[in-house]
Amino acid sequence: MSETSSDDRCPIAILISGRGSNMRALIDACAAPDFPARIVMVLSNKPEAAGLDVARAAGLRAEAIDHRAFGKDRAAHERAVDAMLREAGVELVCLAGYMRLLTPFLTESWAGRMLNIHPSLLPAFPGLHTHERALEAGVKLHGCTVHLVTEVMDDGPILGQAAVPVHAGDTPENLAARVLEQEHRLYPAALRRLLRPETSPSAEDGGSLLVV
């Protein structure tokens, strides 16, 4: 009998710069046979990113294209990233703690096919230090957002959000930990819903504020 490939899972890449805990959550999700994506590579702009070892230990192709080798030429770095993604047959890109400002070259090349996770309830608190800023602002609800990437940083259509309460006495650290736990649930849920809306419930988690 001849072998045929009936793998209709979407080939994705995960782009990281650091520890890669959201990457880990996506790796775990992709291990389920009914998850609609498979990871073809993990790519970092930092060869020393701890997440690369995690990816390799999981048996994944893990690569680095060091942005420092390109000096100030952001576009040249992005061209190298884009070429590697295309050569690997990637169809969708998940940014997961990828700490690079993107130029229109990459955002337009991957328009509608590049996701990001951000640790706030966008449009509140784009940018860095979101947990400190949420505490300073006195918000009572904080959380995380998965959105499609556009040219504007931490902007673009929202695919899902998860909210957590802010407690009296919270520090940026414990608030970050509470949000991160939700990030790990939200990212796979939002990705699944984007790829297979017909098989994903609209509210992924009964009773909690995880909405995709």
Q: Which residue has the tokens 């490939």?
A: 5
- What residue type is 211 in one-letter code? V
Residue 156 makes CB contacts below 8 A (sequence gap 6+) with 116, 147, 148, 149, 150
Nearest approach, Cβ of residue 201 and ligand GRF (Å):
23
Nearest approach, Cβ of residue 116 and ligand GRF (Å):
7
Structure tokens at 82: 């884009």
CB atoms within 10 A of CB 197: 10
Among 15, 22, 44, 156, binds ligand GRF (CB under 6 A): 22
- Is residue 156 part of an annotated ligand binding site? no
**CB-based contact 95:149 (threshold 8 Å):** yes
118 is catalytic: yes
**CB-based contact 45:66 (threshold 8 Å):** yes
Within residues 163-192, the interface with ligand GRF by CB under 6 A covers 180, 183
- Rule CB under 6 A: say whether 96 interacts with ligand GRF: yes
Spatial CA neighbour of 204 closest among 176, 177, 184: 184
The active-site residue, picked from 118, 131, 147, 184, is 118
Give whichever of 172 and 201 is closer to ligand GRF, judged by the CB atom: 172
Kind and range of the H or E element at 103? Answer: none
Give whichever of 20 and 160 is closer to ligand GRF, judged by the CB atom: 20
Give whichever of 111 and 180 is closer to ligand GRF, judged by the CB atom: 180
The binding site comprises 20-22, 74, 99-102, 116
Q: Kindly list the residues in this chain that would bind ligand GRF in the complex (CB under 6 A).
A: 16, 18-22, 96-97, 117-119, 144, 180, 183
The binding site for (6R)-10-formyltetrahydrofolate comprises 74, 99-102, 116
